[in-house]
Amino acid sequence: MPVIHVESDDTFLNHLSHNGIVVVDFTASWCGPCQRITPVFERLSHEYSARGVKFLKVDVDECPDTARNNNVTAMPTFIFFKNLVAIHRMQGADPASLEAKLREIENLAAAAAESGVAGFMDLSSFINKAQSECLNECDKNNLGHALLPGSGFYLQSDCDEQLIINLAFNQPVKIHSLKLTAPASNGPKRIKLFINQPRTLDFDQASSMEPIQTIDVAIDDLVKVNPIPLRFVKFQNVQNLVLFVENNQSGTDCTRIDNITLIGQTVTGTNMSEFKRIAGKKGESH
């Protein structure tokens, strides 16, 4: 599918209403860099359209309201949308960066499809592993193993059944649900969740503080890897998540977690549905 030229502000949202990724090139006829990157944008449209990506071109002089609503102040500006939400923007005529970002966003969309929860993605790629840690982990079976799905390794507690897992993110996220893979015998049972702690909690703090949410994990949730819903409204701007595993299914001294998956969204993005005209005519104040 070729690049679609958006002819007016009134038609932009119609073109944007697309179940998938939409890349919008904000351009101008007088902009030299815009003209130089046009062949690259057109080539990418032919390559990625077959994979469900839609490409739009918006002339800022023809669609000034659309440019203003999207805070476009320099050309070219490329904005990537997913289900009407702006998930990334970049300025400048850099073909390599444009193609790399498109490839990255397509991979994230694939992760969203694989998450099993409609409208949300696997947040694994947003976890900052270097800043994450686990207290009472076994040296040979540490947190890193539980963040590598399908590795065959696992996280295991050391001295007793309790674990404190601090997951840091490289950007703020919204967390919708949690998936845990673990044995029915000694997988986690009761988990207390905390967010945005200035440092990793110790066991006394985790035991005494009021959590954002407490989860009682069913064996089926571990064996079938069912999404465990969180109180989404409580997890809207999460920079770090602490999971205090209080006990396990069998009450033994060893807790095991094969994999931890968080399902949600990134915080960045603007919902373009908010820009639908409510009253008045174009050019009027309202």
In 3-state terms, what secondary structure has residue 8? coil
Q: Which of 271, 264, 257 is nearest to 169 (CA)?
A: 264
Collect contacts of 155-159 with beta carbons under 8 A, ≥24 apart: 155/256, 155/257, 155/258, 155/260, 156/254, 156/255, 156/256, 156/257, 157/245, 157/253, 157/254, 157/255, 157/256, 159/253
- Annotated active-site residue 159? The verdict is no
Instruction: Say how many residues make up the chain.
Output: 286
Hey, what are 238's tokens? 């999460």
- Is omega for the bond preceding 76 within 30 degrees of 0, making it cis? yes
Handedness of CA 64, 70, 73, 77 (dihedral sign): negative
Catalytic residue among 31, 138, 159, 254: 31
- Annotated active-site residue 134? The verdict is no
* C-alpha–C-alpha distance, residues 165 and 215, integer Å: 15
The residues, ordered by sequence, that sit 6+ positions from 279 with a Cβ below 8 Å of its Cβ are: 286
Contact 253, 62 (CB under 8 A): no
Catalytic residue among 34, 63, 138, 159: 34
Contact 46, 2 (CB under 8 A): yes
Contact 235, 167 (CB under 8 A): no
Residues belonging to the active site: 31, 34
